[in-house]
């Protein structure tokens, strides 16, 4: 599992709900196939990512680079 920063927004080293976004992670399917997305929760992505990370702490790596955007359009 890899986490990284969102351009001009948040860093991927904080794996807590409200501080991590779906675009900020790459998770191999075999590491998360047993974990379910909680559709009834607004911040479902944060809960999902946190649970994936908790089950794969020893297989996770933070990359301190901006590798995704949040609602960003170029001209």
What is 24-43 written as a DSSP string?
Answer: GEE--HHHHTT----TTSTT
**pLDDT score, position 58:** 95
Mean pLDDT of the chain: 93
Beta strands in the chain, from DSSP E residues, in sequence order: 2-6, 25-26, 61-68
- Locate the domains of the chain by residue range: 2-68
pTM here?
0.86
Q: Above 90 in pLDDT, residue 70?
A: no
With cut-offs at 50, 70 and 90, classify the pLDDT of residue 74.
Answer: low
**pLDDT score, position 72:** 73
Q: What is the pLDDT of residues 3-33, one digit of tens each?
A: 999 998 999 999 999 999 999 999 999 999 9
Cβ neighbours of 20 (radius 10 Å):
25
């Amino acid at each position: 599992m890899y986490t990284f920063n969102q351009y001009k927004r948040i860093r991927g080293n904080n794996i807590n709900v409200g501080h991590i976004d779906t675009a900020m992670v790459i998770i191999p399917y075999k590491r998360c196939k047993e974990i379910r997305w909680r559709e009834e929760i607004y911040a479902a992505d944060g809960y999902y990512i946190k649970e994936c990370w908790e089950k794969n702490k020893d297989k996770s790596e933070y990359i301190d680079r901006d590798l995704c955007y949040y609602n960003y359009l170029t001209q």
